[in-house]
Structures are given as C-alpha cells and as structure tokens.
Amino acid sequence: MTSRNFVALRTIWIKECTRFMRIWIQTLLPPAITMSLYFVIFGNLIGSRIGDMGGFSYMEFIVPGLIMMSVITNAYSNVSSSFYSAKFQRNVEEMLVAPVPNWVIIAGFVGGGVARALLIGFIVTLVSLLFVDIHIHSLAIILLTLVLTATLFSTAGLINAIYANSFDDISIIPTFVLTPLTYLGGVFYSLTLLPEFWQWVSKANPIVYMVNGFRYGFLGVSDINLYVSMALLVGFNLILLTLAYSLINRGVGIRS
C-alpha cells in the first residue's frame, strides 16, 4: 500500500469513526439499553424457568448470541446509513474522482462499520457481566468470528446502500430479512431442541453458523461444526467484498 492510499484509508476510517462517536447517544447507548432488557427478560425472568442448556445456565447460553446480534445489527446499519448519506449529499463523487483506488473507499467504510460493531460488542459484553460470569473457551475463535461477522455485515450494508434510492430502502433489508434471520438464528435456543426437519431448515440460515461459532468461543459447545462455520464466514466475505468492488467499479447506484 502506498503512502497516499494509506492516508486516504485512514482519513475515511477516522471520518466514519468520528461520525458514530459524535452521536454516541444514538449509536452506542441504545444497544446497551436494549441488551440489558434482553438480559433481564430472557435471562432472569424466562431463563429461570427454562433451566440448563447443555450444562450451562440459560443466561450463559444466550450471552454470545445477544452479543453477536448487536454486532450484526450495528455493523449493517452503520455502513448502510453512512454510505447512502454520502450518496445523498453527493460526497461519493468526490472520492471517486480522487486518485484513490475503489478498494480503499470500500475498506474505509467497511472499517468504520467494523469499528462500531466491535465497540458495541465490547459494551454489550460489559453489560452482560452485570448479570452473569462469562466463560471464555477460546479468545482467538471469539475475535476471529467477531471480525469476520462484522466485516460481512458491514459489506452487506454497503451493498444495500449502493442499490438504495431512498432512505426507506436502507431499512427494508434489516426489517424484513435481517431481523427474522437473527431471531431464528439460534440466539435464544439450541438447534437440538428442534425436530430434525426444522434443524435442517435452520441450517439454511447463515446467521446460525455465526452465532454457533461465536458461542463455541465462549462455551466450547456448538450445534454446527466449527470448521464449517469459519469456512462459510470466509466464503461469504469474499463473495460480498468482490460484489461490492464490482458495483463500485461499474458505478451502480452512483453514476446512473
């Protein structure tokens, strides 16, 4: 990477981080409050009636899923709203005509989404410590899954923003696709509790692999083979990053 590209990448990334840090009351505080409510309602009130989940308390079982849910949501929303705002304000054209490769623009926006997602994940983890003692089976698996998932959904948010023609368009995917897949992604239950047919149906949900990979990092247990989860995460990242690069190169949603 040349010094010029590095400066451009750092500038976009700092701009993205400054953007969500400046309005931290809207970007960082709500996830902490929302997850606290999940811990109280599902962990304390409902969890006490459910009992153990594979040798762990229900609260311990859902903590990794709740952290992952907040990471997915914030990584996606950060980049989709930021890039579409840049399109709406006609700022993207200034970056495209600058002597900066398109991959630097993508890396800057995606890096900002990853930074917000990781910060939210850290905040939610701190909140969870108020309710339960966290076990860590493999810190490396936790960090790897976290970064890959944040990158994946940051890139997905970028692609959504590229195709979006209005602010309403960037809320359609999170509302009608992302939220249902997340709630059906094994955050609040183990796939082993489902009938065999629905276990196979659930395995068509990519979020199941992310949640279970992340849960393995904490508890050492997973409904899905860890290597399969990691392979799918890497594969999805490569596909979406390639798609985003192709769309930016062709000027889809920008030059048309």
175-196: pLDDT as tens digits: 888 989 998 888 888 888 888 8
Mean pLDDT score across all residues of the chain: 89
| Res 165 pLDDT > 90 | no
| Res 88 pLDDT > 80 | yes
Give the residue extent of every domain in the chain.
Answer: 3-250
**Sequence-separated contacts (24+) of 190-196 with Cβ below 8 Å:** 190/53, 190/54, 190/61, 190/223, 191/223, 191/224, 192/54, 192/223
Structure confidence at residue 41 (pLDDT) = 81
pTM given for the model: 0.93
39-80: pLDDT as tens digits: 888 766 776 677 677 778 888 888 999 999 999 999 999 999
Structure confidence at residue 154 (pLDDT) = 96
